[in-house]
């Protein structure tokens, strides 16, 4: 750790600001990762808000068939 502080003290004012910004960014990123919910909890929340009926799915499947039948114009 002393090695880092020695190097830091050799930097000019602008470079020290850059290092401080980088450290702040890394700490924020680490905090966000630590606060993330486990994926199982996230998945269960997604399932609870899903409101797709069988009829909705059938419309999507029919549209998919129509889209797959489109003929692409050749240049």
Identify whether 6 is part of a domain.
Answer: yes
Residue 71 pLDDT: 86
**56/41 Cα distance (integer angstroms):** 26
Residue 31 pLDDT: 83
Sign of CA dihedral 10, 15, 16, 20: negative
Identify whether 42 is part of a domain.
Answer: yes
Q: Say what the pTM is.
A: 0.44
What total number of domains does the chain contain?
A: 1
pLDDT in tens, 14-68: 999 999 999 999 999 888 877 776 666 777 777 778 777 888 889 999 999 999 9
Residue 1 pLDDT: 62
Identify whether 39 is part of a domain.
Answer: yes
Residue 67 pLDDT: 92
Identify whether 74 is part of a domain.
Answer: no
SS3 44: helix
Q: Which tokens sit at 37?
A: 């919910």
Q: Which domain holds residue 40?
A: 2-68
Identify whether 28 is part of a domain.
Answer: yes
Residue 44 pLDDT: 76
């Amino acid at each position: 750790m002393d090695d880092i502080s020695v190097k830091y003290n050799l930097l000019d004012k602008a470079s020290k600001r850059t290092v401080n910004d980088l450290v702040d960014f890394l700490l924020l990123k680490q905090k966000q990762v630590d606060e993330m919910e486990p994926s199982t909890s996230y998945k269960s929340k997604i399932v609870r808000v899903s409101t797709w009926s069988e009829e909705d799915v059938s419309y999507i499947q029919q549209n998919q068939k129509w889209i797959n039948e489109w003929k692409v114009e050749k240049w």
